[in-house]
């Protein structure tokens, strides 16, 4: 009887910003090779004003499980809904060890050749936007700000804490955030909320 061969991730590694990277599609193939009966669920949890947020849950039968969140906006990608789903799925898979060593999801935000499932470098976003000469008129929507405050509360932050964090990361008040910066901060707080939920 032939011995079952596993997935060889090294065959699918690409270079991004000088580092090794395993695309989400290959992480999913790897997971399915190991666990054909594993569960993969994605859900669009919010879609408004050109901004989408997905939740992905990956479950190993009789083993571990992980949840990942991903958000994207029309300002960043034309197919932002699909990109948000991919980001969420990539993070859930990486949390289970599928491609963790080959992806920057939990380390940094790519500064060039943006990867759909990497987080944004919050401290540098504002400066990069100004360097590119982008308009600051593209302000966060009232709904985005309202959602941001609600997520912050669920992550254990008061409105004062949120203001402090926003000032430190972006150099402005919450109501002065740009759409992209608000999206990035929402994503950060969702991850923090998810960590709190796992700990409780």
> 69-81 pLDDT, tens per residue?
988 988 888 899 9
Say if residues 121 and 188 touch (Cβ distance below 8 Å): no
Q: Compute the mean pLDDT over every residue in the chain, rounded to the nearest whole number.
A: 77
What's the predicted TM-score (pTM) here? Answer: 0.53
Give the mean model confidence (pLDDT) for residues 9-23: 79
For 96-150, the three-class secondary structure string (H helix, E strand, C coil) is CCCCHHHCCCCCCCCCCCCCCCCCCCHHHHHHHHHHCCCCCCCECCHHHHHHHHH
In this predicted structure, the answer to whether residue 42 has a pLDDT above a threshold of 80 is yes
* CB 94 within 8 Å of CB 105: yes
On the question of pLDDT at 189 being above 50, the answer is: yes
In this model, does residue 134 exceed pLDDT 70?
Answer: no
Q: Which two tokens stand for residue 115?
A: 């990867």
For residue 106, what pLDDT is reported? Answer: 47
Contact 147, 179 (CB under 8 A): no
The CATH code of the domain at 15-107+114-119 is 3.30.160
| pLDDT value of position 38 | 94
Give pLDDT tens digits for 159-173: 888 888 887 777 788
Nearby residues of 81 by Cβ (< 8 Å), 6 or more positions away: 44, 47, 52, 72
Question: If we measure between CA atoms, which residue out of 120, 80, 122 comes closest to residue 104?
Answer: 120
Q: What percent of the chain has pLDDT over 90?
A: 24
Domain ranges across the chain: 15-107+114-119, 120-200
* The most confident of 17-26, 50-59, 140-149, 182-191, by mean pLDDT: 50-59
Query: What letters, b where the CB count within 10 A reaches 16 and e where it falls short, cover 5-24?
Result: eebebeebbeebeeeebbbb
């Amino acid at each position: 009887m032939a011995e079952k061969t596993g997935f060889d991730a090294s065959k699918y590694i690409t270079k991004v910003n000088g580092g090794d990277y395993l695309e989400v599609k290959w992480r999913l193939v790897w997971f399915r090779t190991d666990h054909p009966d594993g569960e993969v669920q994605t859900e669009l949890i919010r879609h408004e004003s050109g901004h989408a947020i997905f939740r992905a849950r990956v479950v190993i039968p009789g083993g571990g499980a992980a949840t990942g969140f991903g958000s994207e906006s029309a300002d960043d990608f034309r197919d932002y809904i699909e990109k948000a789903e991919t980001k969420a799925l990539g993070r859930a898979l990486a949390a289970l060890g599928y491609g963790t060593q080959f992806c920057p999801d939990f380390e940094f935000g790519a500064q060039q050749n943006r990867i759909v499932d990497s987080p944004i470098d919050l401290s540098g976003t504002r400066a990069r936007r100004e360097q590119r000469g982008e308009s600051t008129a593209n302000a966060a929507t009232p709904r985005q700000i309202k959602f941001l405050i609600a997520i912050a509360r669920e992550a254990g932050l008061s409105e004062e804490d949120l203001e402090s964090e926003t000032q430190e990361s972006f150099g402005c008040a919450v109501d002065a955030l740009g759409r992209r910066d608000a999206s990035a901060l929402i994503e950060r707080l969702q991850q923090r909320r998810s960590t709190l939920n796992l700990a409780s």
